[in-house]
Chains A and B, each alone.
Chain A
Amino acid sequence: MGTVKIKRPQLTWRDRMYFPEILRGLVITIKHGLKSLFVPRSMPTVQYPEERKPPLPRPRGKHQLVRRQDGSPLCVACYCCQTVCPPLAIRIEAEESPDPEIEKRPKSFRIDLLRCIFCGMCVEACPKYAIVMTDNYELAAETRESLQAGMEDLLEKENRS
């Protein structure tokens, strides 16, 4: 166990004078400033409400329940997603399905979007691919109640991509 000697960069005489280096710094910043002033496109800022970035593949936004051909939810109320959900945001109530081929269906399917951490584990857990996530990440609202997504809400086709 020896002491490791790290070679620190030594300040040269020029660096110790401060002023030449300060002037160099000033030139660098004014170059950036003038470039942003005269070529606004060079700035990476996205002017958000008017401009949006194109959505990335496999987005993890608000959830969506997938429908069958006849319009009823594909979900079979197996509770996999509710079980795996880390913040306990999903609450399912099951009932008997009228279809003899299918055992159960959800009576209500609620996701508390305020608890949800958008980890996507419900999508991974689902054996029927009945829950997916959309690219709707604009989930600001004025009341807590409006962020409790019910079954109708989740079944509604998101009109984004």
Chain B
Amino acid sequence: MPQWLQTVVSSSWFWAALALLVGYSLTLFGIPIYTWWERRGAGLIQLRPGPNRRGPYGLVQAIADAVKLAVKEDVVPQGADRFLHALAPVLVMTVALTTFAIIPWSGDFELFGRTVRLQVADLNVGILFVMAVSSLAVHGIALAGWSSNNKYSLLGALRSAAQMFSYELSLGLALVAVVLATGAVSIHQMVADQIGPIWRWGVFQAPVAFIIFISAAYAEANRVPFDLVEADSEIVAGYHTEYSALRFGLFYMAEYVHMAVSAALTALLFFGGWHIPWIEEIVGPRAYAKLFPWFMLGGALFCLFLAWDVRRPVRKRFTRGNDLMAVLCVMAAAAMVALAAVVWRFDFDWLQTLAAMGGQVVVLVVKFLFFFWLFIWVRWTLPRFRYDQLMRLGWKVLLPLGLANVAVTALLVVAGWL
């Protein structure tokens, strides 16, 4: 490898840009897929197929939705505060995306004498930054409700403010317990603490914190069962009642980005991040580099399955472009097999390092996708909480539980059991 390329590849800028790419492909570029996923998932759970007409598996529906949002008329209601009305969705979206900056997608690796990690910004305050920035989202929502000049929007915004305050406390306390247990504030150190057997995972180290965290995370993302903020059967659409076109789209996307952040944090803090338990014992040193070709082969097999499935007559019945998708799937499979073969065959140090990194990203993304699916799954399982139930759960159950959990965890840490 030439010297200049080594300098580029081992620079932190390069990895920040790469991490940005991973982060964006899981948030901004992923959103059309998530909406499709949510709609199909909702359909299947409710014993109906969901959108299945536009493109193979109805995948093009996502693009159709996006185009619809983009070309619709952007209505600003009479009497609205035009500046705040325009500012609110931008604020919500910016805040949601900013939290993604500190999520690490792989562990530390030595590359050409420098330590690199797939992370946009390595802040040593780590998890505190997530807390601080994600709680700013409530400002955007409150502004949206206030500036719309609509009673339902205002009600939604008030609910949102109260709900976010209530659950932020529990969320913070849950994280305090995790910080105590792992002894780190920076996220990649918290993940590093979970290496080894499965009981090193945060969910087994701090199970109560996990329950509080996931409840509070659902409330923070304004998702069912805590979606009182937009409760469509009570207050029309809550804070975004008076939004249309791309401004509504920004709110919609921000919700998915919030879900993505919560899912990534759940995977990182409680489920070992990019680690597979016992992997070092089973596969030996450089486990992820050795696993990477197998991941790629698995992906290739899945793509080939898709290519077969999408050409079946039952799939071709309602949609066009199935053959094109089959071709693309076969090409992706071929690329994955080639990548696996290259990693398998050549033993360059840098190649193996990159493969290990890729392997860790795959592990984390799989866990991330599971927790994203959990959001969708829970949405179509649970009914909405009533407002007083929400407040009772937040203040009378989760908050005392969180305080007790912090005390118990602290005692355990002092006693040396954690």
A interface residues, Cβ below 8 angstroms from B: 19, 22, 25-26, 28-30, 32-37, 40, 42-45, 47, 50
With A19-B211, A33-B41, A50-B318 as given contacts, are A45 and B381 in contact (CB-CB < 8 Å)?
Answer: no
* A43 in contact with B47 given A19-B211, A33-B41, A50-B317 (CB within 8 Å): yes
Count class of interface residues, chain B: 10 to 19
Query: Contact between A40 and B47 (Cβ–Cβ < 8 Å)?
Result: no
- Which secondary structure dominates where chain A touches chain B? helix
**Which of B44, B314, B317, B378 is within 8 Å of A32, CB to CB?**
B44
Roughly how many angstroms separate A19 CA and B398 CA in the complex, as a whole number? 13
User: Which chain B residues lie closer than 8 Å to A36 at the CB level?
Assistant: 43-45, 47-49
A23 (CB) vs chain B CBs: closest residue: B381
Number of contacts between A and B (CB, 8 Å)? Answer: 49
B30-60 contact mask (Cβ, 8 Å, vs A): 1 or 0: 0000000000010111111100000000000
B44–A26 touching, CB < 8 Å: no
| B residues with CB within 8 A of A | 41, 43-49, 211, 314, 317-318, 377-378, 380-382
Contact of A25 among B314, B318, B382 (CB under 8 A): B382
The 6 A-B residue pairs with the shortest CB-CB distance, nearest first, are: A36-B44, A33-B44, A33-B45, A29-B381, A25-B381, A29-B45
Write the nearest CB–CB distance from B74 to chain A, whole angstroms: 29
Chain A residues lying within 8 Å of B381, measured Cβ to Cβ, are 22, 25-26, 28-29
Residues in A neighbouring B47, C-beta threshold 8 A: 32, 35-36, 42-45
Instruction: Say yes or no: A40-B49 contact (C-beta < 8 A), given A33-B41, A50-B317.
Output: yes
B43 contacts which chain A residues (CB < 8 A)?
36
Cα A13 to Cα B317 in complex, Å, equals 51
Tell me the bound Cα distance from A14 to B182 in angstroms. 31
Chain A residues within an 8 Å CB radius of B48:
36, 43-45
